[in-house]
Amino acid sequence: MSAMEDHPLSYSRLGDCARNVESVITRLMADKLAYPEMLSLAAGFTDNRVLPESLVQAALESLSITENRSHLQYGMNRGRPGLRRCVIDLLKSYPGEHDLDLDEENIVITNGSQQGLYILVQMLCDPGDIVLVESPSYFVFLELLEGLGVRAVSIPCNEDGTIDHSGMAALVSSLESSGELESVKLVYLMGAFANPSTRCISESDKLGLCDLLRGLERKIPVVEDMAYRELYFDEPYPARTLLAIEEWRNHPVIYSGTFTKPFATGLKVGFIVSRNRDCLTTLAKIKGHQDFGSAHLNQAIIENVYSSGEYHKHLQAIRPHYREKRDILEAALLENGFKDAGWEWDQPLGGLLLWARGPEGTNTRIGSPFHKRCVEKEILYVPGDLCFAEGSPENCVRLSFGALEKELIPEAAKRFCEAALQTG
Amino acid sequence: MSAMEDHPLSYSRLGDCARNVESVITRLMADKLAYPEMLSLAAGFTDNRVLPESLVQAALESLSITENRSHLQYGMNRGRPGLRRCVIDLLKSYPGEHDLDLDEENIVITNGSQQGLYILVQMLCDPGDIVLVESPSYFVFLELLEGLGVRAVSIPCNEDGTIDHSGMAALVSSLESSGELESVKLVYLMGAFANPSTRCISESDKLGLCDLLRGLERKIPVVEDMAYRELYFDEPYPARTLLAIEEWRNHPVIYSGTFTKPFATGLKVGFIVSRNRDCLTTLAKIKGHQDFGSAHLNQAIIENVYSSGEYHKHLQAIRPHYREKRDILEAALLENGFKDAGWEWDQPLGGLLLWARGPEGTNTRIGSPFHKRCVEKEILYVPGDLCFAEGSPENCVRLSFGALEKELIPEAAKRFCEAALQTG
């Protein structure tokens, strides 16, 4: 008797959608397993070397004194009140946002920020509905949409990553005339150090978008994914969040964030912030059905670290580390003639990624000669086409300097450039 | 400016379903907050007093030596391979199941067992579809179904909790003639110390069910929720799981379990086991969209505790504790004349709950005089009607001896009996 059977089941519509999504991560991991010497510029992981081991341990010790073991017990579905107050403190720590009028009722703690995004799409979008996303956008979010049968449509963006407002107005008109505007249920933005482009959205772009959305008959909710916001190198990106901008008042705005992306991804503590009561109530109900509350231990650890002041200190300490890794990657790309060969990129000011655009005619898709050469040279990257709702352009790559040890970055960049710049 | 706005949003069908689910837990918690002296026989929590604080701390210290900080980093979507092998070891530890032919590919680690159940329903059931559940069944699962727009229909059960096979055959016939059988997409069973009844399913009942399902044109998947299996007081319930019973081979069977319900609910590490490859692949894809992997730290802690042998030792140590609490509750109910007044229950042989059925005419629903008297006496219970797909009968209560300190159980039972046995 074998341990596996291959009898097909009868799936729901959602089950069928999800089955048909090709997971990029799975594909990349298969490559990695087939080539053990593979160096990865693909994984969006953080650097093990700067993970806060002693802080987590100290937090657990401190909890053993203060918590009467309740950190090992179920918690509230919406999350620990104290941790929700830490969310507010974090949001208020940014310049120009000290006055944010939020309280713990505006927060739901989620199982990583991904769960918050997933529930938002579940609760707002039926299969066939549309979510507007930037171009490029976060490929895991695009997969999430596909898995729920929801269509992604790109917000037109300029070469420099800013929003193309006249293009956006034209898109809305065209959706209106095709009758599809009523299917647009959500706008997904990454406000700071976006994955993959590390682009940030300026206040003027935020205002421009607000003008457009305010003119529509129905208020389309906007979610601002700020997963990378805390991972700036020198200073926070100066634009305020939608939550803090007066013009966005009275528009359904959702802020999505995470404590653990910049701190310790293995803990998975995210949060959703909104002023829309009904939105949070519905989100919390669905969360109740999915897990009736995120793991309480992880919340208690983060709350303890945050409240002690060590959270901010730790981030302050790791910023130069990632900035240095960015510098090493950029220097190695230059040294290996990447720019001379016509590739360009904007220097990342935060995050873990570098988004590069190749000269005309470049094709980095999975299965392309470019991709094959990289696999042969045992180097992984994320093909840029995966980050676009429409699957094009195809001349971009996402390179990550997050996980790879800094000593290996030059070799990885060398292999990558050799493969990239070779022709045929 | 207020921190909350009350503008309604436009929801998906799922969003609308979820909004309309009345959450029992939320209601019970509101009662508890309004009456601070409230004693709760309602919460399904475990006892803080026996939570494994030093084991969790020792595990974290040990991980700091062995893991090179990878326990604080993202892990695999399907879960740690070592932890998946612990699942197999756990399943094989039961009498008559040493030979289970499973390997780590048969396992997906989930964010608590609840996430596994949620994804299963998502992937198998469209809104309007039917899941067959026992009577009574787990009320959080019933809420989950309602939130996804899925209908629960009761499997007829006898007074003693066994499956009424002729009733079940009649149900299937009736669904067949009404054309609804094709909408039945899943059967949900709790095999051991079920919530709320603490009933277990015998092998002969499992075989009877198999006979019936094998006769149908389409193979309806069956999930066996074993969340309470490890929480036996004296010995494991002797029936094997569906996974281990030859007759169930070639039928899509899913086993749902958890490491943390009996150990430390604040860690939320569950698992799904199946031999159906396609089922697991689809489940893992949806999990990837929801969180791309459960919190790695929690998995690493459980794997460490399990592998060291301390997991089983800890369970062995806490079993007498819960047995004693059961004894205290039963003694107090008897002492306060509960049985004399016509209430009956089966002695729980595992779990955290006692399921009692009142004499004819008893109505324990929320809002009933019975319920009001309990709230006035500051005692909480779970009304039994919430545990039935059809909302009836209404003469039952679920009492939990899990969370309440054992010294408080007599007072809680006294209040409850006073309220229950008072008339008018």
Closest residue in A to B116 (Cα) is A290
Considering only CB atoms, which chain B residues are within 8 Å of A275? Answer: 3-5
Q: For an interface test with A, which of B285, B301, B318, B404 has the most A Cβ atoms less than 10 Å from its Cβ?
A: B285
Mean pLDDT of the residues in chain B:
95
Q: Do A12 and B123 touch (CB under 8 A)?
A: yes
Distance from CA of A422 to the nearest CA of B (A): 33
Nearest to A123 among B11, B68, B267 (CB): B11
Distance from CA of A17 to the nearest CA of B (A): 9
The mean pLDDT value for B261-289 works out to: 96
Residues paired with A417 in a beta bridge: none
The mean pLDDT value for B397-423 works out to: 95
pLDDT at A44: 86
- Residue B157's φ and ψ, nearest 5 degrees, are -125, 150
Nearest to A73 among B4, B266, B296 (CB): B266
Nearest to B185 among A10, A250, A290 (CB): A10
Structural tokens at position B99: 């030979």
CA angle A413, A417, A423 (to 5 degrees): 160
**CA–CA distance, A238 with A227 (Å, rounded to integer):** 16
B122-140 pLDDT, tens digit each: 999 999 999 999 999 999 9
pLDDT band at A378 (very low <50, low <70, confident <90, very high): very high
Sequence length of chain A is 424
B222-274 pLDDT, tens digit each: 999 999 999 999 999 999 999 999 999 989 999 999 999 999 999 999 999 99
Largest CA distance in chain A: 66
The yes-or-no verdict on residue A24 having pLDDT over 80 is no
Considering only CB atoms, which chain B residues are within 8 Å of A143? Answer: 288-289
pLDDT at B424: 57
Higher pLDDT, B87 or B27: B87
Nearest to A5 among B10, B74, B275 (CB): B275
Q: Do A12 and B124 touch (CB under 8 A)?
A: yes
Distance from CA of A74 to the nearest CA of B (A): 5
The yes-or-no verdict on residue A2 having pLDDT over 70 is no
Q: Do A23 and B297 touch (CB under 8 A)?
A: no
- With CA atoms as reference, report the closest residue to A18 among B171, B396, B283, B323: B283
A88-133 pLDDT, tens digit each: 999 999 999 999 999 999 999 999 999 999 999 999 999 999 999 9
Scanning A51-191, the segments in alpha helix (DSSP H) are 53-66, 81-92, 112-124, 139-147, 165-177
Structural tokens at position B424: 């008018």
- Residue A417's φ and ψ, nearest 5 degrees, are -65, -40
Q: Do B123 and A14 touch (CB under 8 A)?
A: yes
pLDDT band at A141 (very low <50, low <70, confident <90, very high): very high
pLDDT at A35: 76
Alpha carbon separation from B214 to A406, B208, B217, B253 (Å, rounded): 59, 10, 8, 12
Tokens 């059960």 belong to residue: B157
pLDDT at A1: 43
**CA–CA distance, B18 with B314 (Å, rounded to integer):** 38
Distance from CA of B340 to the nearest CA of A (A): 36
Nearest to B23 among A19, A276, A285 (CB): A285
Helix axes B112-124, A277-290, angle to 10 degrees: 100
- Name residues whose C-beta falls within 8 Å of residue A224's C-beta, 6 or more positions apart in sequence: A189, A190, A191, A241, A242, A243, A253, A254, A255, A256
Closest residue in B to A4 (Cα) is B275
pLDDT at B54: 97
Structural tokens at position A413: 């960049």
pLDDT at B383: 95
Based on the number of CB atoms within 10 Å of its own CB, is A324 exposed (0-12), middle (13-18) or buried (19 or more)?
middle
The mean pLDDT value for A325-346 works out to: 97
Prediction pTM value: 0.97
Q: Are B332 and B410 in contact (CB under 8 A)?
A: yes
Nearest to A45 among B45, B74, B219 (CB): B74
**CA–CA distance, A218 with A21 (Å, rounded to integer):** 31
The yes-or-no verdict on residue A27 having pLDDT over 90 is no
B290-320 pLDDT, tens digit each: 999 999 999 999 999 999 999 999 999 999 9
Phi-psi region of B12 (alpha: psi -120 to 50; beta: other; left: phi over 0): beta
Nearest to B278 among A8, A68, A291 (CB): A8
DSSP string, A133-173: E-SS--HHHHHHHHHTTPEEEEPPB-TTS-B-HHHHHHHHH
Considering only CB atoms, which chain B residues are within 8 Å of A296? Answer: 265-266, 268
Phi-psi region of A391 (alpha: psi -120 to 50; beta: other; left: phi over 0): left
Q: Do A15 and B45 touch (CB under 8 A)?
A: no
Distance from CA of B311 to the nearest CA of A (A): 15
Residues paired with B154 in a beta bridge: B133
- Name residues whose C-beta falls within 8 Å of residue A47's C-beta, 6 or more positions apart in sequence: A318, A321, A322, A325, A402, A403, A405
The mean pLDDT value for B343-355 works out to: 97
Phi-psi region of A139 (alpha: psi -120 to 50; beta: other; left: phi over 0): alpha
Q: Do A72 and B265 touch (CB under 8 A)?
A: yes
Considering only CB atoms, which chain B residues are within 8 Å of A47? Answer: none
Largest CA distance in chain B: 66
Structural tokens at position A168: 């956006």
pLDDT at A242: 97
Q: Do A265 and B296 touch (CB under 8 A)?
A: yes
Domains of chain A: 13-51+313-421 (3.90.1150.10), 54-311 (3.40.640.10)
CA dihedral (A178, A181, A186, A189) positive or negative: positive
pLDDT at B1: 43
- Number of H helices and E strands in chain A, helices first, is 13, 13
B111-122 pLDDT, tens digit each: 999 999 999 999
End-to-end Cα, chain B, rounded Å: 48
The rounded radius of gyration (Å) of the Cα atoms in chain A is 22
Based on the number of CB atoms within 10 Å of its own CB, is B385 exposed (0-12), middle (13-18) or buried (19 or more)?
buried
Q: Do A2 and B101 touch (CB under 8 A)?
A: yes
Distance from CA of B144 to the nearest CA of A (A): 5
